[in-house]
A and B are shown apart, each in its own frame.
Chain A
Amino acid sequence: MPASEPVSGRRDLPRMADLVKLSDRFEIDPAQPLPDFDSPSAKAYVCTEGSGTEFFALVCDPKVPLRVETINGLKGFPKHNLMRVHDHGVVNWTLSGRRMPVLILDRPRGTRLFADPGQAIEPFTDEQLARGFLTPLVATMREMSQRGVTHRNIRPDNLFYSDPARRSVMVGECVSAPPGLYQPDSCESLECVMADRTARGEGGVLDDLFSVGVTLLSLLTGRMLPEATDPQRMIFDRINFGSYACLVGNTRLQMNMVEVLRGLLTDEPRERWTIRDLELWLGGRRLTPKQVKLPPKAGRPLTVGGGTYENVRAVAHAIGRNWNTAAELVRGQDFDNWLRRSLGDENVVEAVNKVTGGANGIQSAPKEEDARLVTRVAIGLDPSAPIRHKGFSCHIDGVGPTLAMNFNDDATRQMIAGFIGSRSVGPWMSVQTRSKQDLLELFSKFDKLPTFLNSTGPGYGIERVLYELNEDIHCMSSMIEHLCVTDPEEVVPSLEAVAQGQNRPPIPMDRHLAAFLGARSSDIDDRLLRPLGNSSDKRPAIDALNVMRLLARIQTLSRNGPMPGLCQWFTELMKPAVNGFHNLKARAAVETSVMKASESGQLGEILKIFDDQRAQQRDQQGFARAQQEFAHCAVQVAQMNLDLQNKDSLAAELGEQAAAVISGVVGSVGTTAIVILYLV
């Protein structure tokens, strides 16, 4: 996500009445909210631009990941009836006292169709539906389909009149939240609704077409479909009786509308209407409405978790929901008989055999892998459904948003760690009939995740999984979360901001920051990340040194100028390492060098000083020698003190000898002198 304003160290957020600028082009007025255009996780504000075109700004909840890939995919989108994104970025937002992601969107000239879910509107006529809703929508969907993006947010309360005369309808934005997150269950195809809400995934154009069908139904009736009181019961009903029957119910419809609704609300994706079918229908083609094809029933029902189920999709869904008791069932002969004889679908048997290794594979699976076995059986039974593991039901591209939105929830983290550890994506891929390039990319990504998850040090673990699966979310580190940093190049300026703030954490690194850098920067590899968690190295300030090495690399790569605050912070953190120099002259010299390097604002300059291993080695060796010499001196001093105490006994012996010598010499000299005196 491009940041429109540089990361600012001080929280110099604008005053209440100040306009907030994005990209030096759009001016957002925090004092003028537009509640009519709010999205479930974003607030709308007046936004102006010099050209006079009408825009509004959506200030998004930073906890909800944006669909940046979709935003990029929709760049330069022609003016159909879609609320287009003109710009996006991060701004300092007064009202929340932090930086917030912002979207600049087309401002509809009309109002929202359904201001609240209980509101009833005048039912649309065929003419209104065809010309005012479906025709522009089909053009929009064709364009989106050609760009390889899905909307996944088509629902009655995300429609706006695009003109004050209410002649045409435009579809609201689809990028402020993960796909399908705020879709009512009724607006989602069975494949999507069976997944957890946050894990519905990007889906495809057929899922959008299903949503178009449900929206069409609401416009025909003038009311939104009520939410089911028991969503799971509703899912099983839709599986057993078909979504069309469950959603349309007894609503009286014209025959031409029955045709389009049956086409769009078909649960079998291969039989669902495509954009082409819709275009032909709008062009005047009329066919006899096809009967909704219900899933084939097995010869006898199968009991799962106390309920009886007659078709394979219902059994798969029930097994996924009753995963803790289903292992016993799938290991039993009854299940095998049901699968091979009662169901009578060779494709399903083949898929189950493929993912489980057949009856032998099921029987030989160890008890502790029951959950994995159940997951695989469910995949084999219903390959197009979400993967279900220990109660977590997801499309693989929905795992990332689920983790991002619930990262602070222990249960979710464990659930997703368990899902990744189960390595269920491979078996799931092996039974997919369609093969999309992005799925293959995701598969290769999932293949690497267990390795990250099994590494416990900073830069790995579940945090790394978070950033690997969400390429566009901002760094969740508590130090810089409020700054909404999405690019590694912004990390060092953000930390400079933290360094200049009041409440510095103990060290400018944590698990989130390390994982963020590891996932987003190809230049940050194991050689820089592994040392962060190496507790065996006991050198002083080694943690700070390893962090500095990592951040110095980022600073060098991003070339975003001197960072004196951060350097000063590291200067303080590295004091133990400076004090680690035993030689006081060398220590003073290092201190001076560090101060000088710190003033340059380049972490690399400080790093050079502490990376000089030879100087440290010389110091260590010199210190060892000095210690030895000191100890030797001390031993000698002690010995001499002992001699000093015993000097009298030593002196007595020596003194007597000396006295004897002196007397001898004096005697000899005296004798000689006397003899000479008397002889002469």
Chain B
Amino acid sequence: MASNSASASSLKVIVFTIVGGLMLFTLPTVLLLGLGMLPTFAAMMVDQRREKYTTLCVGCMNFVGVLPFVARLWSEDHSYAKAFEIMVDPFAWLTMLGAAGLGWCIYLLAPGVVSMGIAMRIEQRIGRLRRRQRELVEEWGPGVAGALDNSEPLDDTKEKGRDG
């Protein structure tokens, strides 16, 4: 057990050393990413859930918004001047923040859409069950409902509407 935690700690040290080394050699990129991904950091701050869905949603889209400018930095001139040039460009900000906003939109709209889907599926199944109950009543008479006879009235038009 003790050896496991020791090796995990040493792995962390190695990873931090490598990442820190890389960041040291790519500071303009770090600067661009650091500023461009601010909406993601904000989303991470407000995301209380363990699964971090908000962060994931916003982060993915935000990264797609920042990536073209990082690529431009690398392909044209990997320097602070170029980084600052990109960062003073409003279009760049519009792209990066817009992409993050799209992430937020996906995050906020998805539950509503899913809810509608679930409701539709459940109502379809209820419709099928009610249709079966109606068939049973037509075949065996109202007595087949027994004590459940007063459960819910079987409204034909409603059911048909539901069944589509």
CA distance A660 to B110 in the complex (A): 9
B56-A660 in contact (CB<8A): yes
**B71 to chain A: which residues have CB within 8 Å?**
674-675, 677-678
Partner of B57, one of A622, A637, A660: A660
A667-B63 in contact (CB<8A): yes
Q: Tell me the chain B residues, 112-131 only, with Cβ under 8 Å from chain A.
A: 112-115, 118-119, 122-123, 125-126, 129-130
Q: How far is the CB of B5 from chain A (nearest CB, A)?
A: 31
Q: How far is the CB of B35 from chain A (nearest CB, A)?
A: 18
A647-B119 in contact (CB<8A): yes
Q: Tell me the chain B residues, 95-143 only, with Cβ under 8 Å from chain A.
A: 103, 106-107, 109-115, 118-119, 122-123, 125-126, 129-130, 132-133, 136-141, 143
A659-B107 in contact (CB<8A): yes
B64-A666 in contact (CB<8A): yes
Determine the residue in chain A with the shortest Cβ distance to B69. A674
**B111 to chain A: which residues have CB within 8 Å?**
648, 651-652, 654-656, 659
Partner of A633, one of B118, B129, B139, B141: B129
**A629 to chain B: which residues have CB within 8 Å?**
132, 136
Q: Known contacts being A637-B152, A640-B122, A675-B71, is A582 close to B57, with CB within 8 Å?
A: no
Determine the residue in chain B with the shortest Cβ distance to A583. B140
B64-A674 in contact (CB<8A): yes
Q: How far is the CB of B9 from chain A (nearest CB, A)?
A: 30
CA distance A626 to B51 in the complex (A): 47
**A455 to chain B: which residues have CB within 8 Å?**
none
Give the interface size bracket for A toward B. 35 or more
Interface status of A641 (Cβ within 8 A of chain B): yes
Q: Known contacts being A627-B146, A667-B64, is A662 close to B118, with CB within 8 Å?
A: no
**B103 to chain A: which residues have CB within 8 Å?**
663
A654-B129 in contact (CB<8A): no
A623-B151 in contact (CB<8A): no
**B49 to chain A: which residues have CB within 8 Å?**
656
Number of A-B contacts (CB under 8 A): 151
**A656 to chain B: which residues have CB within 8 Å?**
49, 51, 53-54, 107, 110-111
Q: Known contacts being A657-B53, A660-B56, is A623 close to B107, with CB within 8 Å?
A: no
CA distance A562 to B136 in the complex (A): 40
Q: Mark A185-225, 1 if CB is under 8 A from B, else 0.
A: 00000000000000000000000000000000000000000
CA distance A654 to B53 in the complex (A): 11
Interface status of A658 (Cβ within 8 A of chain B): yes
**B137 to chain A: which residues have CB within 8 Å?**
630
**A666 to chain B: which residues have CB within 8 Å?**
60-61, 64, 106
Interface status of B67 (Cβ within 8 A of chain A): yes
CA distance A584 to B54 in the complex (A): 59
A634-B148 in contact (CB<8A): yes
CA distance A668 to B61 in the complex (A): 9
Sample of 19 further A-B pairs with CB below 8 A, known A637-B129, A656-B110, A660-B51: A582-B144, A583-B139, A626-B144, A630-B145, A631-B148, A637-B130, A638-B151, A644-B123, A647-B115, A654-B111, A655-B113, A656-B111, A659-B106, A659-B111, A662-B110, A663-B60, A667-B60, A667-B61, A678-B72
Query: What are 21 A-B interface contacts by the 8 Å CB criterion?
Result: A582-B141, A584-B138, A587-B141, A623-B143, A629-B136, A630-B136, A631-B148, A633-B129, A637-B126, A637-B129, A638-B151, A644-B122, A644-B126, A654-B111, A655-B113, A660-B56, A662-B57, A666-B106, A670-B61, A671-B63, A678-B68
